[in-house]
């Protein structure tokens, strides 16, 4: 599976299907790609209704025919625009084009619905995208129940977990590998991923990507 970080919380997974998560590209000063360059996607997942996560999701779905997966209220908004959407809620699961998406708790704010994280099962791999969240004890359940192979955790502080909390989240989730996200986009969310790696220590492999870089999950 090829994993690409487009910047902020935007992630693309390429395996048997192409999945894009939280595609905030337009207006993102460090985005490594513009939405017009995305020509193929099967599923677009949105963790919550903030502009830096919902981003270009609707545009990408309209262009590629991808199915949107999001909390019910966002899915309704998409359907009103003629987009194929699978609405769900925290604690639920949906199967879309051979991919299973589980919606899990996140502690944050949003415009409509509730903020969430997602656990994605695809091609025999389990990945956790935390969205925007504080450290929560629920992450222990994610580790116990889902045992993620790789997690995407915010480290930018102020609006999400900072580095110490994110390092604790690695322990809670028992993730084997982690890619830090949601930092370096704006001055208010500056953070040092190398300090995060230092605080994680031997608990997991920390993969530090630059915007636009990819990692192959074997």
CATH number at residue 9: 3.60.15.10
Q: Does 216 map to a domain? A: no
* pTM of the complete model beyond 0.75: yes
- Chain-wide mean pLDDT for the chain? 98
pLDDT single digits (tens) 176-185: 999 999 999 9
Q: Does 24 map to a domain? A: yes
Q: What is the pLDDT of residue 39?
A: 96
Q: Does 96 map to a domain? A: yes
Which pLDDT band holds residue 167 (cuts at 50, 70, 90)?
very high
Question: Do residues 33 and 22 lie in contact, with contact meaning Cβ atoms separated by under 8 Å?
Answer: no
Domains contained in the chain, number: 1
Which pLDDT band holds residue 207 (cuts at 50, 70, 90)?
very high
pLDDT single digits (tens) 121-157: 999 999 999 999 999 999 999 999 999 999 999 999 9
Q: What is the pLDDT of residue 143?
A: 98
Q: What is the pLDDT of residue 171?
A: 98
Residue indicated by tokens 């110490």: 164
Sheet containing 85-88: order of strands:
85-88, 67-71, 43-45, 18-21, 10-14, 2-7, 214-216
Q: What is the pLDDT of residue 57?
A: 98
Q: Which domain holds residue 83?
A: 2-207
What is residue 180's DSSP assignment? E
Q: What is the pLDDT of residue 158?
A: 98
């Amino acid at each position: 599976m090829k994993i690409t970080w487009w910047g902020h919380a935007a992630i693309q997974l390429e395996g048997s299907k192409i999945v894009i998560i939280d595609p905030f590209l337009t207006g993102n000063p460090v985005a490594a790609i513009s939405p017009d360059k995305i020509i193929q996607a099967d599923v677009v997942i949105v963790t919550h209704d903030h502009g830096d996560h919902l981003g270009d999701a609707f545009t990408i779905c309209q262009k590629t025919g991808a199915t949107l997966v999001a909390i019910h209220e966002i899915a309704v908004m998409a359907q009103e625009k003629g987009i194929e959407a699978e609405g769900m809620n925290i604690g639920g699961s949906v199967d879309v084009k051979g991919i299973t998406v589980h919606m899990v708790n996140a502690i944050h704010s949003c415009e409509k619905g509730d903020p969430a994280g997602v656990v994605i099962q695809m091609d025999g791999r389990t990945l956790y995208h935390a969205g925007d969240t504080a450290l929560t004890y629920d992450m222990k359940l994610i580790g116990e129940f889902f045992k993620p192979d790789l997690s995407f955790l915010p480290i930018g502080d102020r609006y999400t977990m900072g580095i110490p909390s994110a390092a604790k989240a690695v322990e809670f989730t028992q993730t084997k590998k982690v890619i830090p996200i949601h930092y370096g986009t704006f001055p208010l969310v500056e953070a040092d991923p190398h300090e995060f790696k230092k605080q994680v220590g031997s608990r997991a492999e920390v993969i530090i990507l630059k915007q636009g870089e990819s990692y192959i999950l074997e």
